[in-house]
Structure 1
Amino acid sequence: MMMRSVVLMLVWWFLCGICLGKFLVEKNILKVTSPESLKGKNECAIGNFGIPRYGGTMAGTVVYPRDNSDACKAIKKVKEIMEKKPGGLPIFLLVDRGECNFTMKAWNSQNAGAAAILVVDYKTEPLITMDQPDEASENDDYIDKITIPSVLISKSLGEKMKKALSDEEIVSVVLDWTDALPNPDERVEYEFWMSSDTTCGPKCDSQMNFLKDFKGSAQILEKTGYTSFTPHYITLYCSGSKTSNPCATQCINKGRYCAPDTVDEYLGAEVVLENLRQACIFRVTNESGKPWLWWDYVTDFTRRCSMQEGKFSKACAGQVIDSLGMAKDKIEKCMGDPNVDEENPILQAEQGSQIGKGPRGDITMLPTLLINGVQYRGKLDRVAVLKAICAGFRETTEPSICLRADMETNECLDKNGGCWEDKANNITACRDTFRGRVCECPVVQGVQFLGDGYTECKPSKSSRCRINNGGCWHESRDGKSYSACPEDGSEGCKCPPGFKMNAENSCEDVDECEQKLACQCPECKCNDTWGGYECSCSQGLLYIKDQDTCISRKSVTKSNAGLVWLLVLGLAALVAGGYLLYKYRIRRYMDSEIRGIMAQYMPLDGHAEPLIHSSGDI
């Protein structure tokens, strides 16, 4: 018992040392929209219970219950408080800090019908994080039932709100969490700090339930590449000497990595070893490309190797590892020897990660969830955490799991979200996202619609006829199809040849026979068809459409035969002429060559004999 007290003192010293160091209060924005004298933005601290609306906003009217200002007793129904108040906004209860714990205030406010609770600090100081009680009591089962968001506001802002309400002014505010979580890219990185000790009270119960309930969602997100998850484990350092170690049973590696003994009398060293085992399981499964298997192990281990049932042991852990087909030898190699007087690289890295880097802050509470480097505040509930993770995606890049019915309300279902729509063709510019709707002209069947998304969306000209024929008339009969949508992409509708526009902006067939537009020769017989006509001739005559006339089939035959003979004779004449021309050119070429050769050996006509010169020498 003495040993446990020493360790608990060490834990208290360790955590308080961090609290005085880099513990960060996670904040959101409270915008006062009325009265005019209070308008503006104010920071408020997010409570570590209930369900904050990460990525969203809430508007409400503030009410201050003067007869129960600290909300430590049951509050009369909000509907009764607001009977004489105008407007239909949700009610945010303004309550004073003190007299009872924060969670009790939130629970009473929720039971009264409030949509959120604003706790006014009782002194001028930097904002703090409202947390649930450290020690559990038999009446604390209500904490997990708190669903309304809670924030702590400064004393000065709270006093101004009270003054305005006492003057019977309407105080309206908007709680804004849109910037509480960053969303730098299309993947969310999140971490979960925990311990294998499951006997520490409500927070351990919350941790176990969360791991079990969130497993499915986590594995879906991880397998599809939308998230990157990393588990972490807090360990403490015992500063005892080698000869006198006050926490020997709580530590491994000669006091370097420690944990308190558990309520069920398990040694702290056993907790540290299981923490190390789980960290190594994650490392080994991650190296194999299947990091989501970690969730299978921790949920199975919690169920099969419960501390409460006295089954928490290395042997039970081995059975779980074997049942999941994990590489036990690699896991044991990763864990190393817990008895050596040297650092364990895995636990050393965990201790280093506890210290905050950049804006993150140190890890001081268990369990702690970090999303994109920001500590999550609120209830460890599957839907609440999933909403927070979804808020870590850029708008319109969130996975489909973020848009399920239990995650958010589809704003496109209410008056189409105020966006453009074509009801006749079931086309809309309203697209639902986790944070709300966006009005963007859609792409339908590969055709991009263009416009502002609110009042107009039109298919691009080059392909508008591909979507419902550009809104123009079209019809098919007997294997024939006609459309009034111009194929050149021009605006409007134009009936094709053989049709005319009627009063209903549809195209109707033109009767070419009745209007005497074709087939007018004496021997012609006209028959109207849909979109055209057919013309025939009496007495066995043949109709020539281009000339709109009927001629004898025999004359056509004779004419065709004469034409063939004419073509044959013409071709023969052409070949003969070509041959004579060829012979003529060959003859001229040979004559030219002979004359050139003869000119080299005898004078040509008209030239004198060549002179013979003599020198006179003998």
Structure 2
Amino acid sequence: MREKLGFLVCVWFLLYGSCLGRFVVEKNSLKVTSPDSLKDVYECAIGNFGVPQYGGTMVGTLVYPKSNQKACKSFDDADISFKSKPGGMPIFLLMDRGDCYFTLKAWNAQNAGAAAILVADDRVEALITMDTPEEEDEKADYLQNITIPSALISKALGDNIKRALSKGDLVNINLDWRESLPHPDERVEFEFWTNSNDECGPKCDSQIEFVKNFKGAAQILEQKGYTQFTPHYITWYCPEAFILSNQCKSQCINHGRYCAPDPEQDFTKGYDGKDVVVQNLRQACFFKVANESGKPWLWWDYVTDFAIRCPMKEKKYTKECADQVIESLGIDLKQIDKCIGDPQADVDNPVLKAEQEAQIGKGSRGDVTILPTLVVNNRQYRGKLGKGAVLKAICSGFEETTEPALCLTEGIETNECLENNGGCWQDKAANITACRDTFRGRLCECPVVQGVQFVGDGYTHCAATGALRCEINNGGCWKGSKDGRTYSACIDDHTKDCKCPPGFRGDGVKTCDDIDECKEKLACNCNECRCKNTWGSHECKCSGNLLYMQEHDTCISKDVNTRFSWGFFWVIILGLAAAGIVGYAMYKYRIRRYMDSEIRAIMAQYMPLDNQGEVPSHIPHGNV
């Protein structure tokens, strides 16, 4: 379908306009690592078949066969194998352009064991995209079975490689697709340009098969917000001078504004091109209505179910059958019919008009001229239309470390952390690693485990930090248990230091050795003391009936200590009693003296005292 419809596009425009679409050659990097004379990075054009390793790299040794250098014949005839030997590097096959299809060259190389093919151009020109054959061929079923990547290189590079190989040099190549598709953020936007026509042979069958196989992955990615998908449909317009022609009437709707080729390429039988346009419009409207209801992923169900329930071959490619599928998915038929409008009206259809405008390439994306076409992050995908191959391309469009788990499953990418931990730091005991698998390779980053941040270079060292760091593998510090005791060198604070606890000596990380306080005379140094070392501590005892006082590092008699204690107690009691008696006596004495002085003062006012003079008994004259 890809070649036929692309060819029909040009036929249509050659008849009614032009065929000058802007086709963009998608490229990847090719790095020659040996010999020194060729060491450099070159561009090569990705083939439009096989499985490019989007997001990854491949390393191999280049071989240029002595015969069958255009690879148009099977290498089995020459009993030649390009399978890599155990422990050896994969073999990339260099071949010349010409004499047969690019796809046949790739197929023969793949069957001979080659891991990838490089086709050297036979003319000096800008790089072109190697495409699949344009004509239908029943023997071309192998096209969907090509799994090795392919690339076209310039004539100059091809000639230089051939000269190096002829001199006996070993030519090693690194094919790099990591930057073939942009990966700016955490969401991938992709478009699928397709067609509802199912009467175009094996290519249409493979397209429907792809939709069925990819549906599950596409819906998971869309529902979880990892991707934003948009389906598109190619239509063409009929020039005004030919609107009333039978060809335009049978292939176009809305008075020649939107057209599609006849499915059987026979205007006298079967369905017409206008039937295809209407069904394309219905599928586009289904997506529009489903998207507005928050369920854009239902498009995959509708297209899959319609292909199964309403095929052209069974004469079920009708509105009635389509409506039954739509109702089964719970989408409002009235909204879809309103979106479709009147195909006979001489007016623009907003949906199809937008589709025609979207066919024109913008920015890094070229014009869409062939079906099917997949566009990932505004860059056209190259390669086989298969679930695994397309998923690789979509996964390579995510920013590192943001890709969904689906992209890191076996068969989609290689987990470099599984071999030698990717060369990153790890703590095997705690099962903690700094190796982080991403679709484009591994990253060595100190991890966050149970809320605890590890810091370091990620390659040779990572240490836990923060208040909870001792909860994760004891903060990377030493820890030991013996005789029912456990000691740790981790300090549970915001530092990241490891310090041996009292009674131990060491670096705190790998070792903390017990200190023998007895041998080193660090305790129990009194004459009567007996010292016994224990793990992480010591014990001091005194001989005889003596008691050890740790704060003074001395021994004292238990009896003396007892007498001294009771004697001191009685002294205090007697002292307090004496002080009370003396105080009471002083109090009584002072009260008595105070009362005596008061009584004497009162008596002096009413009677003479012994020490006072007598009062005269006569009255002097003149004082009457």
Give the TM-score band, short-chain normalised.
0.7 to 0.9
* Among 366, 369, 382, the residue aligned to 1:377: 382
Deviations 1:441-478 (A, max 9, x none): 22233222222222222223766533322321244987
Structure 2 counterpart of 1:285, which letter? Answer: A
* Partner of residue 51, structure 1: 51
Deviations 1:529-565 (A, max 9, x none): 997899999xxxx999979986769979x969x99xx
C-alpha distance in structure 2 between counterparts of 1:102 and 1:298, whole Å: 32
C-alpha distance in structure 2 between counterparts of 1:344 and 1:214, whole Å: 30
Q: Does 1:265 align with 2:270?
A: yes
C-alpha distance in structure 2 between counterparts of 1:375 and 1:465, whole Å: 51
* Partner of residue 587, structure 2: none
* Partner of residue 311, structure 1: 316
Q: Does 1:65 align with 2:65?
A: yes
Residues 447-596 of structure 1 mapped to structure 2, 5 A cutoff: 447-460=452-465, 464-469=469-474, 470-475=476-481, 482-487=487-492, 489=495, 491-496=497-502, 505=511
C-alpha distance in structure 1 between counterparts of 2:72 and 2:393, whole Å: 29
* Partner of residue 189, structure 2: 189
* Among 266, 286, 302, the residue aligned to 1:281: 286
Q: 1:482/1:322 Cα in 2 relative to 1: closer, same or farther (>3 Å)?
A: same
Residues 195-234 of structure 1 mapped to structure 2, 5 A cutoff: 195-234=195-234
Q: 1:77/1:424 Cα in 2 relative to 1: closer, same or farther (>3 Å)?
A: farther
Return 5+ residue gaps in structure 2 as ranges.
584-624
C-alpha distance in structure 2 between counterparts of 1:138 and 1:128, whole Å: 26
Greater mean alpha carbon deviation, residues 273-282 or residues 244-253? 244-253
* Partner of residue 417, structure 1: 422
Greater mean alpha carbon deviation, residues 32-41 or residues 400-409? 32-41
Contact 2:193 2:374 in 1 (8 A): yes
C-alpha distance in structure 1 between counterparts of 2:125 and 2:361, whole Å: 23
Per-residue deviation at 1:73? 0.6
Structure 2 counterpart of 1:158, which letter? Answer: G
Structure 2 counterpart of 1:109, which letter? Answer: A
SS at match of 1:152: strand
* Partner of residue 145, structure 1: 145
Per-residue deviation at 1:387? 0.7
C-alpha distance in structure 1 between counterparts of 2:254 and 2:507, whole Å: 93
Structure 1 counterpart of 2:387, which letter? Answer: R
Per-residue deviation at 1:72? 0.9
Contact 1:474 1:484 in 2 (8 A): no
C-alpha distance in structure 2 between counterparts of 1:77 and 1:555, whole Å: 113
SS at match of 1:30: strand
* Among 354, 357, 365, the residue aligned to 1:352: 357
Contact 1:535 1:543 in 2 (8 A): yes
C-alpha distance in structure 2 between counterparts of 1:153 and 1:502, whole Å: 58
Structure 1 counterpart of 2:445, which letter? Answer: E
* Partner of residue 88, structure 1: 88
Q: 1:283/1:525 Cα in 2 relative to 1: closer, same or farther (>3 Å)?
A: same
Greater mean alpha carbon deviation, residues 503-512 or residues 346-355? 503-512
C-alpha distance in structure 2 between counterparts of 1:218 and 1:385, whole Å: 10
Return 5+ residue gaps in structure 1 as ranges.
574-618
Per-residue deviation at 1:33? 2.5
Per-residue deviation at 1:161? 2.1
Q: Does 1:297 align with 2:292?
A: no
Contact 2:235 2:260 in 1 (8 A): yes
Q: 1:482/1:270 Cα in 2 relative to 1: closer, same or farther (>3 Å)?
A: same
Per-residue deviation at 1:528? 11
Contact 1:203 1:366 in 2 (8 A): no
Per-residue deviation at 1:30? 2.0
Structure 1 counterpart of 2:182, which letter? Answer: P
C-alpha distance in structure 2 between counterparts of 1:334 and 1:437, whole Å: 47
* Partner of residue 591, structure 1: none
* Partner of residue 155, structure 2: 155
Name the count of aligned residue pairs.
560
Question: Which one has a bigger Cα radius of gyration?
Answer: 2
C-alpha distance in structure 2 between counterparts of 1:377 and 1:286, whole Å: 27
Per-residue deviation at 1:181? 0.6
* Among 399, 419, 433, the residue aligned to 1:394: 399
Q: 1:505/1:301 Cα in 2 relative to 1: closer, same or farther (>3 Å)?
A: same
